Amino acid sequence: MGDGSGRMKRLLSLFAAGVMFFAPAAVVLAGELSLQGLIDEALQASPEILAARAKATASGFRVPQSMSLPDPMVMVGYQNEGTSSFTFNEASDSQFLFSASQLFFFPGKRALKGEVAAKEVESLSASANAVRLRTIAVIKELYYDLFLAHRSMDLLREKDVLLHKVEDAALARYAAGEGIQQDVLMAQTEKYMLLEREEMLRQRIQTLEALLNSTVGRDQAAPLDRPAAPAFVPYSQTLPELLAAAYENSPEIKAREKMVASTNARVRVAQREYYPDITVTGNYGLKGSAFEDMDMWSLTTSVNVPLYYTTKQRPAVQEAEASMSGAKNELQAVRLRLSAAIRENHAFMRTTERLMELYRHGLTPKIHQDFQAAMASYATGKTDALSVISRLKTITEIETSYWGQLVERKKARARLEALTGVTDFRTEEGRQ
C-alpha cells in the first residue's frame, strides 16, 4: 500500500508539473539587453555606418572644387637684344616680361558642374541613410534571433524537468511490476537528445552574440545580457500604403533618383563642351629707366576650338547619355526589387499573424487537453510513456513554433521599416 501511495504521489506530481508547463513563466532576470540601447550605440560606433557617413561627408567637398576655375597662370621672363652682352637699359628692345592668364568656362558650365557634384552628394547621403536603416534592421533581426535561442533553451529545460518526472514514474511502475523497461529507456533516450539540442543552442547563442557585437561595433567577445521578450503588436499598414511610403521615403530610391539627376546634368555638361572656353591674358614689358616711357602692355583673349568634336565632344555626350540610361534602369530595378520585397514581407506578416492566432486559440488549447488526458491515463496505467512523451514533444514544438512565428514577424517588420524608410527607431520591448 505504501509503495502504491508513493507511486501515485509521483504521478500526481508529474501531472501538476505538466499543468504548470502551460502557465506563462514569470521569470525575473537580473538584466535585460536593451534593443534601443544597441541601436543607439550602433549609430555612433558601427564601422559600416561611420564609413558610409564619412563617404557622404567627403563628397560634399567636391562641390566647390567642381565649380572652381582653373588656377591662373603667371609668367615672368626677360628679353635681351643680342647674345654677346646684357643689354637691359641699353637697348630699347631689352625688357623684363610679365604676364598673367586666366581661363574662364563658357557661361553655364560651372553651374552644371556644381549641379553634378551636388546631386552626387545627395545620392551618397541617401545611400548612407540606407546603410543606417539596413544596419538597424540587421540588429533587430539578430536581437530577436538571440531571444528565440534563449527561449528555445528555456523550453528544452522545462521539457527536461518533465522528462525527469516521467522517468521517475516509469521507474516506480517498473519496480512495482506495473510498467515495462522500454518506458524507462524511452524517457532516458529523450533526455540525452535534449542535451544534444541544448549544445547546438549554446553554439547558436554564441554565434548570434558575436554577430550582434560585430554589427553594433563592439568587440565580438563582449558579454551580452538576455534580450527582452517581444510583445505582439498589431500591424495596420496596408500593402498600397507601404508601397507609397517606399516610393516616397526609401533612401535607396532617393539615392538612385539623385544619380539620375546627376547623370542628366552630366549630359548637359558634355553638350556644353561643344562651346569654347575663354582665356584672358595680360602682358607687361618693363624696360630700363632710359626707356621707361616705352614700357608696353597688352591684353589678349584666346578660345579653344573644338575641332576634334567627332572624337572628343560627341563621344563624351554619348557616354553621358548611356550613363543616364543606365541610371534610369537601375532606378527602375530598385523600385521593382523593393516592391517585391515589401509584398513578400507584408504577406509574411499576415501569414504569421494567422498562424499565431491558430496556435493561441486552436492548437495550444487542444494539445494541452490531450496532454492532460494522456497524463491522467498514464497515472491509472491505461496508457504507456510513449503517449505522454510524444504529446510532450508536440507541446514543445508548438511552443517553439509560436515564439518562432512571433520572432519572424518582428524581423519582417524590421525589414519593412528599412525598405520603406519609415521608422522612428523606437523599439517595442515588453513581456508577452
DSSP codes of every residue in 391-413: HHHHHHHHHHHHHHHHHHHHHHH
Whether 432 is covered by a domain: the verdict is no
Q: Considering only CA atoms, which of 253, 258, 260, 415 is closest in space to residue 334? A: 253
pLDDT the model gives residue 427: 44
Could you tell me the sign of the dihedral formed by the alpha carbons of 280, 286, 287, 289, in that order? Answer: positive
pLDDT the model gives residue 387: 73
Domain co-membership, 148 together with 284:
no
Domain co-membership, 283 together with 326:
no
What average pLDDT does the segment 220-237 reach?
Answer: 84
Domain, as residue range, for 379: 2-68+108-274+309-420
Strand partners for 283: 99, 298
Least-confidence region, from 8-12, 277-281, 303-307: 8-12
Boundary of a domain, candidates 256, 291, 308: 308
pLDDT the model gives residue 362: 74
CATH no. for residue 215? Answer: 1.20.1600.10
With 60 as the cut, is the pLDDT of residue 201 above it? yes
Domain co-membership, 215 together with 290:
no
Domain co-membership, 41 together with 79:
no
Question: pLDDT category, 8, cuts 50, 70, 90?
Answer: very low
Exposure class string for 58-78: b at 16+ Cβ within 10 A, else e: ebeebbeebbeeeeeeeeeee
With 50 as the cut, is the pLDDT of residue 261 above it? yes
Whether 117 is covered by a domain: the verdict is yes
Whether 132 is covered by a domain: the verdict is yes
CATH no. for residue 92? Answer: 2.20.200
Query: Strand pairing of 278-286 and 296-303?
Result: antiparallel
Whether 428 is covered by a domain: the verdict is no
CA–CA dist 288, 384 (Å, integer): 124
Domain co-membership, 337 together with 266:
yes
Q: pLDDT tens digit string along 347-399?
A: 988 888 888 888 877 777 777 777 777 767 766 667 666 777 777 777 778 88
Give the DSSP H or E segment for 332: helix 313-358
Domain co-membership, 261 together with 113:
yes
Domain co-membership, 76 together with 213:
no
With 60 as the cut, is the pLDDT of residue 426 above it? no
Exposure class string for 355-376: b at 16+ Cβ within 10 A, else e: bbeebeeebbeebbeebeebbe
Percent of the chain with pLDDT over 90: 53
Least-confidence region, from 75-89, 152-166, 368-382: 368-382
Domain co-membership, 258 together with 283:
no
Domain co-membership, 384 together with 291:
no
Q: What is the DSSP string of 173-235?
A: HHHTTSS-HHHHHHHHHHHHHHHHHHHHHHHHHHHHHHHHHHHHTS-TT----EEPPBPP---
Domain co-membership, 89 together with 208:
no
Domain tally, the chain: 2
Instruction: Enter the DSSP assignment of 287.
Output: P
- What are the residues whose beta carbons fall under 8 Å from the beta carbon of 307, sequence distance 6 or more? none
Whether 427 is covered by a domain: the verdict is no
CA–CA dist 142, 105 (Å, integer): 54
pLDDT the model gives residue 325: 96
Long-range contacts of 161-165 (CB under 8 A, 24+ apart): 161/17, 162/14, 162/17, 162/18, 162/21, 162/392, 163/187, 163/190, 163/191, 163/194, 163/389, 163/392, 164/191, 165/10, 165/13, 165/14, 165/17
Whether 397 is covered by a domain: the verdict is yes
Q: Say if CB 420 and CB 242 are below 8 A apart.
A: yes
Domain co-membership, 145 together with 236:
yes
> pTM higher than 0.85 for the full model?
no
Whether 429 is covered by a domain: the verdict is no
Domain co-membership, 157 together with 300:
no
Whether 430 is covered by a domain: the verdict is no
